[in-house]
Amino acid sequence: MGGTPTDLKLIDENGRRIDGRLPEEMRPLKIEAGVLKRADGSAYVEWGNNKVMAAVYGPRECHPRHLQNPERALVQCHYNMASFSVDDRKRPGPDRRSHEISKIISEALTNVVFTEYFPRTSIDVYIEVLQANAGTRCAGLTAASVALADAGVPMRDLVASCAAGKVADTVVVDLNKEEDNFGNADIPVGYVPRTGEIVLLQMDGDLSQEQFEKGLGMAVEACKKVSVLQRDALKRRYAAKADEGAEPTEIREGA
Ligand code: CDP
């Protein structure tokens, strides 16, 4: 947000953005499921210049115990940015921003997980941002949904996420870092394609009602594309698992 440097043209005379995209065009998105051996489920997402890893543990006994809910599981997301993920070294450890993002992602995922199947447990979702270029909460939520499915956690649907925003008075999707810094608004959206529900919606900046509605519609369309790639990643994962056949027995020396 803030003033645009005079030499930075966010939208050119052909209506293209600084990285050559059209307003409704997302950055390239690659999703891979099941990338970590130790976690119950995992996913890795490269989205433009964002690189994000998600790992899921659980359902498992909920700690601290006073958070246990006798009727349902608690979905606890822990979002973290590596100190080397941004231009200026990020001070390691939690801060206000990471708490906020962890909370909104936990809430978005709680809407789709059948938490009532696993009373008293916790489903822990760890999101590690290795490289950030704006839109990491959307990339994190997208990766976390795939990681939950990879862990076999029963869900109504995957949550797909993408932001819309406004740059140089034009409504666009999936803002990159320059657009996020010098644009006028950012609306991250989490969408459940099966039900049409919106489970994450935030807004930062200035938009007219008409621009907001246009942006929301564009973000939802982008989320539908994200959802297709999430499913493809899981299908590839299961095809690979089927090819491997039964898990090989581990042979230990001296056993
Ligand atoms: O990443 P997201 O757009 O969901 O959240 P944000 O708070 O709007 O941050 C936008 C971008 O600012 C991040 O993706 C990072 O590239 C950058 N950032 C940073 O450089 N240093 C921080 N401490 C936090 C964010």
Are the CB atoms for 193 and 224 separated by under 8 Å? yes
Give Cα 187 to chain centroid, integer Å: 14
- pLDDT for 251 beyond 60: no
In a domain, 253, yes or no: no
Mutate to test the pocket of ligand 1, among 79, 130, 172, 180 (most ligand atoms within 8 A of CB): 180
pLDDT of residue 25: 98
pLDDT of residue 12: 95
CA distance 231 to 223: 12
How confident is the model over 55-83, as a mean pLDDT?
96
How confident is the model over 118-136, as a mean pLDDT?
98
In a domain, 40, yes or no: yes
pLDDT of residue 243: 85
How confident is the model over 30-56, as a mean pLDDT?
98
What pTM was estimated for this model as a whole?
0.94
pLDDT of residue 31: 98
177 lines ligand 1 (CB under 6 A): yes
pLDDT in tens, 230-239: 999 999 999 9
pLDDT of residue 255: 43
Are the CB atoms for 158 and 145 separated by under 8 Å? yes
pLDDT of residue 75: 98
Query: Which residue's CA is the nearest one to ligand 1's atom 9?
Result: 134
Q: How far is the CA of 132 from the centre of ligand 1 (A)?
A: 7
- pLDDT for 4 beyond 70: no
In a domain, 7, yes or no: no
Q: Which atom of ligand 1 is nearest to the CA of 97?
A: 7
pLDDT of residue 194: 97
> At 246, is the pLDDT very low, low, confident or very high (cuts 50, 70, 90)?
low
Total count of domains within the chain: 1
Q: Residue 103: which domain range?
A: 29-234
In a domain, 16, yes or no: no
Q: Which atom of ligand 1 is nearest to the CA of 95?
A: 23
| CATH number for the domain that contains residue 160 | 3.30.230.70
Instruction: Specify the DSSP element, H or E, that contains 30.
Output: strand 29-33
pLDDT in tens, 171-209: 999 999 999 999 999 999 999 999 999 999 999 999 999
In a domain, 125, yes or no: yes
In a domain, 252, yes or no: no
Q: How far is the CA of 117 from the centre of ligand 1 (A)?
A: 35
How confident is the model over 99-114, as a mean pLDDT?
98
Amino acid at 155: M
Instruction: Specify the DSSP element, H or E, that contains 68.
Output: none
**Mean pLDDT rounded to a whole number for the chain:** 94
pLDDT of residue 86: 97
Percentage above 70 pLDDT, the chain: 93
136 lines ligand 1 (CB under 6 A): yes
Q: Which atom of ligand 1 is nearest to the CA of 137?
A: 4
CA distance 111 to 97: 22
Q: How far is the CA of 191 from the centre of ligand 1 (A)?
A: 21
In a domain, 246, yes or no: no
pLDDT of residue 244: 81
In a domain, 217, yes or no: yes
